[in-house]
Amino acid sequence: MNKFEKLGLNEQLLMAIEDMGFETPSEVQEKAIPVLLANDTDMVSLAQTGTGKTAAFGFPLIQKINANDKTTQGLILSPTRELCLQITNELKNYAKYVKGLRVVAIYGGASITEQARDVKRGAQIIVATPGRMQDMINRRMVDITEIEYCVLDEADEMLNMGFYEDISSILSHTPKEKNTWLFSATMPREVATIAKKFMHSPEEITVGTKNSGTDTVQHEYYLVNGRERYLALKRLADANPDIFSVIFCRTKRDTQNVAEKLIEDGYNAAALHGDLSQNQRDMVMKAFRTRQIQMLVATDVAARGIDVDDITHVINYQLPDEIEIYNHRSGRTGRAGKSGISIVIVAKSELRKIKAIEKVLKKQFEAKKIPSSMEICEIQLYHLASKIKNTEINEEVNHYLPAINDVLRDIDREELIKKMVSVEFGRFFNYYKNAKDLNVNATGRDKAPAVDDIPGEGDVRYFINVGERDGYDWKSLKDFLRDTVDLDRDDIFKVDVKESFSFFNTNAAHTEIILQTFTDFKKDGRFVNIEISKNPGGSHKGRGRKRNGNKFSGPNKGFGKKGRKGRRR
Ligand code: ADP
Ligand code: MG
């Protein structure tokens, strides 16, 4: 029996699930769906972003609704227009085999009369932002007096955004006997208050530890001079040529400035903040989703709707004032079971904030060093080489080949390669040849215990010709190396996975066995090759590494893993 079937879902939903390619229920789905299907109950469900909450309430909601009756039976409140549209689309997908079921989205910034007309045609499920919902209730454009299910999605975000009054007022228009399902990534006091006020002995479901980030996210900080944040950002981008990231700034002005500088410096970047029109925002988000933009610089408020999978890095250009917000930021990566990195560019005066976050997250940051110029150049060179290798040949050039051959006649292959690489590489080399070290040492009272000044001599850095393209991330590459060479997880560190190659470090004691193991080593029919890299590697060991590797081996809360059976009450 299919794992979703076991949860009690009906045929129409199972068919849609198969179409979507979901194989295993996520933990929150496994816990919430059977309870919601079997009982008429209220529920409070806490799970990180990216854990599949939409289906956790969407599947049971669709199954419980009577599609033959046009009355509005379900209401989902969600904080932003983007999320509203996203949920609506997901639900439509889930319900594609359910005849007669209509899901309608209502949100600000679009024609209210059109939305009212849409609702009037019959909408068993309405997905709404609180502001627009309130507006439409006041104008008697919707009727929610007969709803049976109300979902508060991303409740913490809605309250953060000041929707408490709207939510209370909206709920006062709904019948008392309905069921309320609250979903949230975190449980601040305000959410607890809502739960107490509007719910009756709710079932409680918690996935992972309350208030802790997903285990798929690695947290790192880079200590720099406050004035050199931008330079540090640039180096981090250069050291990660395939970066796909959201960069968080505190103010609209900083957001705009950083984005403008990045664009000037030749990066695919854009700003996302509240001063943009809805139209501009849509365009930016579309470009980001389709990867035309690699670095999206955003304010916290504007980024609330961002729900893009595969983000490799979240970068805190500045730390937020509240720890909860850090949690939301870092939750933008490491989604759907993938791993991600949350980076903080931090000045000495802010180091104690890092400690405060560690306490709440119950996780350690790794103190890393901004890669040196030479290291970045090396990464860029390898990247360029693999880009050349993977470039599809444009047959149009055939026509010009004789002439080109003629020009390059006297140059042998080796020299030709050197020259080709130098063409592109010149830009980096010129920029970096005189670049200074941006790293700051934590000294005095603020000294971060995480920065230890162990000299690099004992460590060896390696280059290996497999990367993301081959299905690796830092976790799985580490596992692969450990299993193949028979090392401890802790023996391998500073693992840095790029698109088609990676770097890692070990102590020099392991170098011989590693090189030996990987002489003529084949995996899945192809040679896996390891070489010693010329550079010792960017980061010194953080304290994270010393902690029995705990940080790397936490339980996987992602998809595909069976969650604990039974439910917590
Ligand atoms: P959340 O609301 O918890 O942040 P979403 O519901 O937006 O998470 O889900 C995150 C991503 O995971 C979406 O792309 C969704 O389609 C996908 N997803 C959800 N459930 C599953 C599953 N059981 N198997 C595979 N992918 C899933
Ligand atoms: Mg969600």
Q: Could you tell me if the CB of 63 is within 6 A of ligand 1?
A: no
Give the residue, out of 22, 87, 157, with the most ligand 1 atoms within 8 A of its beta carbon, to mutate for a pocket test. 22
All structural domains of the chain, each given as residue ranges with its CATH number in brackets, are 3-206 (3.40.50.300), 217-370 (3.40.50.300), 382-432 (no CATH), 454-568 (3.30.70.330)
- Give yes or no for a contact between 368 and 503, defined as CB atoms under 8 angstroms apart: no
Q: Could you tell me if the CB of 308 is within 6 A of ligand 1?
A: no
Residues in the chain: 569
Q: Which residues contact 39 (CB under 8 A, 6 or more apart)?
A: 203
Ligand with smallest separation from the Cα of 152: 2
Q: What is the pLDDT of residue 443?
A: 57
Q: What is the pTM of this model?
A: 0.50
User: What would the two tokens of residue 495 be?
Assistant: 């693992």
Q: What is the pLDDT of residue 300?
A: 87
Q: Could you tell me if the CB of 22 is within 6 A of ligand 1?
A: yes
Distances (CA, A) of 409 to 403, 415, 421: 10, 12, 18
Ligand with smallest separation from the Cα of 24: 1
CA of 157 to the centre of ligand 1 (A): 18
Give the residue, out of 87, 181, 556, 559, with the most ligand 1 atoms within 8 A of its beta carbon, to mutate for a pocket test. 559
**Residue whose pair of structure tokens reads 């610089």 in the numeric block:** 297
Q: Could you tell me if the CB of 54 is within 6 A of ligand 1?
A: yes
User: What would the two tokens of residue 68 be?
Assistant: 């033959």
| Residue closest to 219 by CA, chosen among 348, 361, 349, 351 | 361
Q: Could you tell me if the CB of 336 is within 6 A of ligand 1?
A: yes
Q: What CA dihedral angle connects 537, 542, 546 and 549, to 10 degrees?
A: -80
CA of 277 to the centre of ligand 2 (A): 24
What three-state secondary structure class fits 300? coil
| Amino acid letter for position 54 | T
Q: Could you tell me if the CB of 463 is within 6 A of ligand 1?
A: no
Q: Which residues contact 1 (CB under 8 A, 6 or more apart)?
A: none
Q: What is the pLDDT of residue 547?
A: 32
Residue 415 pairs in a beta bridge with none
- Give yes or no for a contact between 390 and 500, defined as CB atoms under 8 angstroms apart: yes
Terminal Cα-to-Cα distance of the chain (whole angstroms)? 27
Q: Could you tell me if the CB of 559 is within 6 A of ligand 1?
A: yes
- Give yes or no for a contact between 77 and 129, defined as CB atoms under 8 angstroms apart: yes
Q: Is the dihedral of CA 160, 161, 162, 164 positive or negative?
A: negative
Q: What is the pLDDT along the chain (569 residues), one digit of tens a residue?
A: 678 999 999 999 999 999 999 989 999 999 999 999 999 999 999 988 778 999 999 999 999 999 999 999 999 999 988 899 999 999 999 999 999 999 999 999 899 999 999 999 999 999 999 999 999 999 999 999 999 999 999 998 888 778 888 999 999 999 999 999 999 987 777 888 888 888 998 999 988 654 344 567 889 999 998 888 999 999 999 999 889 999 999 888 899 999 999 999 889 999 999 888 888 888 999 999 999 999 999 998 888 767 788 889 999 999 988 887 888 888 888 776 677 899 999 988 888 889 888 888 888 898 999 998 888 888 888 888 888 888 888 888 888 888 888 888 888 888 888 887 788 777 777 788 777 888 887 653 333 333 333 234 578 899 999 999 888 998 899 989 988 887 887 889 989 999 889 999 998 888 888 888 887 788 887 888 888 887 655 444 333 333 333 322 333 333 333 333 333 33
CA distance 84 to 221: 33
Q: Could you tell me if the CB of 51 is within 6 A of ligand 1?
A: yes
Q: Name the pairing type of β-strands 493-497 and 502-507.
A: antiparallel
Q: What is the pLDDT of residue 435?
A: 79
CA distance 161 to 541: 39
DSSP 203-238: EEEE-SSTTPPPTTEEEEEEEB-GGGHHHHHHHHHH
